[in-house]
Amino acid sequence: MSIRSDAYDICKLIWDSPSREYLKSLLLKLQASEAGYLARGQRAQILSFLIIDQRKPELEKKLHPLHIVPLKDEERILLSNAHRQIVQLNKECIASLSPKLPQCIKSIDPYVKFGYEQLPVGVEYDILTEKTIEKMAASFSKHPAIEVVLHSMLPDTTKMTEGKYAESVLTISETLFKAGVFDAPSDFQRILFSQAKDSIQRIIARHITALTCIQASLSVLDQLVYQAILSNKLPLLDKNNIIEIGQMSKNLVGNGLSLLYQPGEQLVMSNICDIVLVKSEALGLPLGQLWKVEAVHHEYSQEFGSSEELTLREVDENLNPFGHLLEHI
């Protein structure tokens, strides 16, 4: 078993949740609204709609004549409860780090940068039961990056403040994203090839990189939970909808891929951060591998009609899109 396969099992349990249909209906309605268009830019799943609702006066003033329909009290409570359970899932997944390195916890919270604290409380709707959270947390606790974090603690790292940890993880995340899926940032290449594995600089880089990998894996887990609420299956890109395979790369960070596909009734358009399955006999990609959408480019031609070019990063069995980097650093 792997973290990835256990995450699949969690998604199946979500499908059977009594609260799922109510939440799914609300999310689909919101996705089709002006709030949904703005929420896609937030890339924070359920929290996105709460942020848009909170910022409604500011956004309408800035984006006049946009009109955002406010959430009803019961809708706000439903979304808040569901998001709160996802946050609880994240906390339980990294519980082993809390007593030993409490100042790093916020740095690996996928939602900390949004600063949304006012979550109303009301009738509980259980999308994730306590048993479900415990099972996923037990699996995630075996993430190799957690062990790397604990074994790379130095006096220099234990003295780091909560703010410094958050800044360091954010810097690495942005550096990896800017480099794209087809290359490794030059800073990492320099460290890998010029610093001994037992050097202080290399150990600190390993420490922060491992935290970045944990945050990235939690983000993928949260996205899988969100997509499981909305659909009983992940989007599948295969010979039935792939028009053209573009560039493919294996580098020090991970595997990258670009492809052109045609959306249809069974496969809607993709958004950044979506998790998809890719099956390609030409590339030797079997069904079951996960890929994270990092860029989307819409195209239109008379031959194919509407199509999308996706830039994808492979997600490994630990839900880590930066798995190669964790191995090498």
- The domains found in the chain, sorted by start residue, are 3-232+322-328 (no CATH), 236-315 (2.30.300.10)
Q: Which residue has the tokens 């509407």?
A: 306
Considering the entire predicted model, what is its pTM? Answer: 0.94
Q: Are 38 and 60 in contact (CB under 8 A)?
A: no
Residues 33-68: tens digit of each pLDDT: 988 888 888 899 999 999 999 888 888 888 878 888
List of long-range contacts for 65-68, beta carbons under 8 Å, 24+ apart: 66/34, 67/34, 68/33, 68/34, 68/35, 68/38
The helix (H) or strand (E) run that includes residue 308 is strand 305-315
The percentage of residues in the chain with a pLDDT greater than 70, rounded to a whole number, is: 95
- pLDDT tens-digit readout, 77-109: 899 899 999 999 999 999 999 999 999 999 999
pLDDT for 306 equals 82
Q: Mind listing the pLDDT tens digit for each residue in 266-322?
A: 677 789 999 999 998 878 777 778 999 999 998 777 666 788 999 999 999 999 999
Once rounded to an integer, what is the mean pLDDT over residues 118-126?
63
- The residues, any chain, with a CB within 8 Å of residue 36's CB and separated by 6 or more, are 30, 49
- The pLDDT of residue 156 is above 90: no
Mean pLDDT of all residues in the chain? 90
Q: How confident is the model at residue 114 (pLDDT cuts 50, 70, 90)?
A: confident
DSSP code of 316?
A: -
